[in-house]
């Protein structure tokens, strides 16, 4: 997260005496990544964050891979994932490899009885339906339809929903999630040609200090297991913090599309990058304005990466019969392209209202048991002429 942010009270100098009104010391914690070599924050707790009261038996949440190797265009009906009351129960991994897990979730209830920490993956939570508040020790972020919530590994959080009707598209990335390097200058600032800027970021605000002791359940995810910990102090007992490691949000509706006279390639839609995949936002935009331009995409051989599209809203110009919440996976190794008739139909059109999230992983994705349950098995035949 290449921006500095601070909330609450912090001492003038790091690693110095910082006292509470009663004369006791606040507990300083360095939250660092990649050893001490990447982004970090300094957090000041009312109590040391180390008071473990109990560790209960861990339980497995490792995705159950059902189709490890394949070479078939695949479509999943994402909204057929059944809602579940609990947030963690509701998360259903559908496409996975060792670099990322893509899950769908339709949680009905807010997280009130426990807190959650993913200790080894950054999470991108895309809010397709629903609204509410992301609560963390770093502050709160109000979210709504179209928001990406970026929750770096190690951040303890709760999601509080306004209603039971929520649809989330969640990516766990085992390498850090960043804004694209080519859009950042040598100081880390997003440059003028970037499709969004720091002003568009939803930073945590309204820090609430919970100076509370008791029993606080934190479910910690590591290596495919969930470890239920009971701590003796409230995890949101920050009195202040500063640094670069914290959750933030960004609305897909604030992504400013880059357009041209001729068809622009997918990298113009890039929003985030990691060492192992990129994430792009396809947003409503004006079409190409060369008088002979073909707005529909060309056929494409993605020789060495898979392509995942998650359809959010609007008409998708190159596809027939696309539903909200649908996922398509076009694997590397075979070409894919517009559906029959869509190229001709696109000529002369001036704009699109499509909204979609694309992920290009650099290594093949596997399908889980949950994915096969919502698969449209005949999708690969959908390019046949009727």
What is the distance between the alpha carbons of residues 101 and 64, in angstroms, rounded to a whole number?
12
* 273: CB partners within 8 A, 6+ apart: 177, 178, 179, 180, 181, 279
**Residue 82 to residue 364: CA distance in whole angstroms:** 26
Residue closer to Fe ion by CB (options 61, 258) is 258
CB of 337 to Fe ion, least distance (A): 8
Q: Residue 296 Cβ, how far from Fe ion at the closest point, in Å?
A: 12
Between 42 and 355, name the residue whose CB sits nearer to Fe ion.
355
Q: Which residue is nearest to Fe ion (CB)?
A: 300
Q: How far is the CB of 1 from Fe ion (least distance, A)?
A: 29
Closest separation between CB of residue 306 and Fe ion, Å?
10
Tokens, residue 175: 């390498």
Which CB sits closer to Fe ion, 210 or 300?
A: 300
Query: Would you say 234 or 336 has its CB closer to Fe ion?
Result: 336
Closest approach, Cβ 307 to Fe ion, in A, equals: 5
| 227-to-99, 117, 163, 220, 234 alpha-carbon distances in Å | 21, 10, 28, 5, 17
Nearest-angstrom CA–CA distance, 323 and 290: 30
Q: 72 or 217, CB closer to Fe ion?
A: 72
The least CB distance from residue 11 to Fe ion, in Å, is 51
CA distance 133 to 95: 27
241, exposed or middle or buried, with CB in 10 Å at 0-12, 13-18, 19+? buried
* Cα–Cα distance measured from residue 157 to residue 56, given in angstroms and rounded to the nearest whole number: 19
Is the distance from CB of 111 to CB of 87 less than 8 angstroms? yes
Which residues are near Fe ion by CB under 5 A? 300, 307
Give whichever of 5 and 319 is closer to Fe ion, judged by the CB atom. Answer: 319
Q: Which DSSP category does 190 fall into? A: B
Count CB neighbours of 34 within 10 A: 10
Residue nearer to Fe ion on the CB measure, 307 or 375: 307
DSSP conformational letter for 228: E
Query: How far does CA 356 lie from the centroid of its chain?
Result: 14
The nearer residue to Fe ion, 219 or 308, going by C-beta atoms, is 308
Q: How far is the CB of 336 from Fe ion (least distance, A)?
A: 6
Quote the least distance from Cβ 165 to Fe ion, whole Å.
32
């Amino acid at each position: 997260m290449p921006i500095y942010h601070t909330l609450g009270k912090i001492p003038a100098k790091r690693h110095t005496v910082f006292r509470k009104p009663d004369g006791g010391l606040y507990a300083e914690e360095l939250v660092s990544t990649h050893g001490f070599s990447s982004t970090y924050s300094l957090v000041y707790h009312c109590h040391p964050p180390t008071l473990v009261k109990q560790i209960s038996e861990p339980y497995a949440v490792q995705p159950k891979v059902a189709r490890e190797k394949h070479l078939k265009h695949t479509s999943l009906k994402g909204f057929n994932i059944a809602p579940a009351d609990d947030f963690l129960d509701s998360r259903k991994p559908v496409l996975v490899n060792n670099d990322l897990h893509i899950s769908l979730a339709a949680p009905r209830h807010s997280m009130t009885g426990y807190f959650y920490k993913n200790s080894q993956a950054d999470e991108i939570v895309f809010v397709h339906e629903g609204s509410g508040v992301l609560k963390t020790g770093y502050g709160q972020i109000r979210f709504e339809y179209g928001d990406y919530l970026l929750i770096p590994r190690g951040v303890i959080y709760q999601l509080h929903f306004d209603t039971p009707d929520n649809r989330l598209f969640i990516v766990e990335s085992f390498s850090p999630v960043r804004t694209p390097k080519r859009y950042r200058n040598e100081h880390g600032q997003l440059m003028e040609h970037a499709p969004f800027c720091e002003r568009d970021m939803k930073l945590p605000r309204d820090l609430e200090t919970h100076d509370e002791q008791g029993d606080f359940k934190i479910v910690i995810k590591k290596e495919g297991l969930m470890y239920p910990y009971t701590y003796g102090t409230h995890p949101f007992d920050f009195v202040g913090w500063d640094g670069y490691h914290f959750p933030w949000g960004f609305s897909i509706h604030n992504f400013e599309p880059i357009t041209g006279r001729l068809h622009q390639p997918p990298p113009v839609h890039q929003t985030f990058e990691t060492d192992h995949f990129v994430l792009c936002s396809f947003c409503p935009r004006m079409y190409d304005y060369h008088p002979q331009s073909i707005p529909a995409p060309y056929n494409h051989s993605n020789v060495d990466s898979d392509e995942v599209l998650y359809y959010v809203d609007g008409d998708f110009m190159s596809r027939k019969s696309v539903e909200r919440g649908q996922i398509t996976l076009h694997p590397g190794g075979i070409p894919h392209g517009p559906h029959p008739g869509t190229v001709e139909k696109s000529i002369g059109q001036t704009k699109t209202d499509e909204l979609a999230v694309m992920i290009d992983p650099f290594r093949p994705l596997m399908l889980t048991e949950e994915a096969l349950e919502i698969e449209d098995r005949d999708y690969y035949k959908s390019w046949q002429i009727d």
